Amino acid sequence: MSARRFLPLPAAAALGAAAVLAFAPFGWFVVGWLAMAGLFALLRRAPTARQGGLVGFAFGCGWFGVGTSWVYVSLSVFGGLPPALAGVATALFCAGLALFPALAGAAFVRWRRPGFAAEAARFAGLWMLCEWLRGWLFTGFPWLSLGYSQAPPSPLAGYAPLLGVYGLSLLAALLGACIAEAGRRAFAAPGRLVWPLLPAALLLAGGALLGVLRWSEPSGAPVKVALLQGNVPQEMKWRPEKLHDSLAVYDALMRAHPATLTVLPETAVPAFLGELPPHYLERLLTHALAQQGDVLFGVAAGDAGQYANAAASVGVSPPQLYSKSHLVPFGEFVPPGFQWFLDMMHIPMSNFTPGPARQPPLAIGGQRVAVNICYEDVFGSEIIRALPEATLLVNLSNTAWFGDSLAQPQHLQIAQLRALETGRPMLRATNTGMTAIVGADGRVQAALPPFARDALVAEVSGHTGTTPYVRWGNGPALVAALLLLAGGCRRRPA
């Protein structure tokens, strides 16, 4: 093939890499629209479905190669893989994720129909459906879904309580198509700019108006919370001889920052619940009773034969337990046929048993708390299982596995969407960052600096109410995508 034919591929890869600027920690949400505009323009010029797939694949390689580069840190620095092998594994992982944009690109060209409206509808519908597919196939990996880049202050954030993160992806892709068409017409047909600009303006105005609405309201008196960030180095965390040091870190933080609801991070107590020193559980209970409250802490529940990644509570409320249900492949369970890969790494506690898919909220701290652990808050359709009963969302995480990388701010941005979709505050207690409080409006109200040993103390109100997303989940967004796809692929009468 000629060099000219391959010219769109470097451009697509560069656009994908640039799209990462739309996500945290950069937060330049407009870049997400522009990246979609560039991808739409490239796909319109692709002569064949194969070329469209290559353009989508190149875009995905740039996007995930930069946006999920933290996978290398996990595999090499903390997983113990040799750097070269970790690099190959990371590249294969990113290439696998890039197959989803490739599928969208190939299908867009394959079902080509003339006219901007049909092309824009097909582009947005296919993009969203492929993101949704990525969110559940092979247990799912919806990280870096385009909709996350549209967290506040993006005007599109107002649609989140109705359509969820996938709906925001659809609207951002549609907006990108409008921008691309406006750019084309600015040179070719300036007098017809109104047709792509009008729907873009309506999308943005609609989001801004919806953003004023409040789908939930505070319920009851505010509760004083303390979110503890122990900053325990990952390489020290699971050493048996360091157990006492880890317990002492959180004991000191609790005593220095009393609260009605105290939350410790994922596996903050690096031992089995049944094997903890009895005096330590007594200290936790004594501390909670002194505050007339509860302590929620991450711990492994079970024994060496069968154990769960759990969150346990002690205090004035009866003891309660939440067991993580959506486990991380390779980190928390071994996919069939990949034991050899896990044997090459040094990941402790890597064969957890999943908890039940549906677990009631924990009644602690005077609230009904929907607990989720680490990676679970990436799945909005699973978070809403505990709603509308839950008044607070609480996430316990340990992102020390990813070092000082993009993973931490990206994870906080994901929490913003969960708060928006549900109309509930999200409290995040993490080992190394980012420990934060996200309001029911999806805005970060307070956060600790990463890699600091401290506690985030504040008063938080639980919320009640039901958003459309809580009621219907991803259904409305899927229907919208299918309708756009049907309209964009319909043959015109001869």
Q: Give, in order, the Cα–Cα distances in Å from 274 to each of 243, 281, 304, 336, 381.
A: 15, 10, 11, 29, 32
CA–CA gap between residue 388 and residue 494 (Å, rounded):
51
Coil/strand/helix, residue 445: strand
CA–CA gap between residue 416 and residue 423 (Å, rounded):
10
Q: Which residues pair with 219 in a beta bridge?
A: 462
Show the tokens assigned to 322: 């939440």
Can 237 be counted among the known catalytic residues?
A: no
Can 241 be counted among the known catalytic residues?
A: no
Asked whether the beta carbons of 350 and 342 are under 8 A apart, the reply is: yes
Residue that has been written with the tokens 């451009």 in this structure: 11
Show the tokens assigned to 232: 């325990």
Other C-beta atoms within 10 Å of 290: how many?
11
Show the tokens assigned to 16: 């994908």
Contacts of 242 (CB under 8 A, 6+ apart): 236, 270
Residue that has been written with the tokens 């939350």 in this structure: 263
Of the candidates 274, 269, 316, the residue with the CA atom closest to the CA atom of residue 291: 316
Show the tokens assigned to 433: 């960052």
Dihedral sign, CA of 80, 85, 90, 96?
negative
Q: Which residue among the candidates 178, 374, 376, 421 is catalytic per the annotation?
A: 374
Q: Give, in order, the Cα–Cα distances in Å from 326 to each of 329, 374, 390, 400, 411.
A: 9, 10, 19, 19, 16
Query: Which ranges of 192-311 would DSSP assign to H, the alpha helix?
Result: 194-210, 234-237, 243-256, 278-290
Q: Which residue among the candidates 181, 266, 332, 421 is catalytic per the annotation?
A: 266
Burial class (CB in 10 A: 0-12, 13-18, 19+), 91: middle
Q: Which residue among the candidates 94, 178, 181, 324 is catalytic per the annotation?
A: 324
Q: Which residues are catalytic?
A: 266, 324, 374
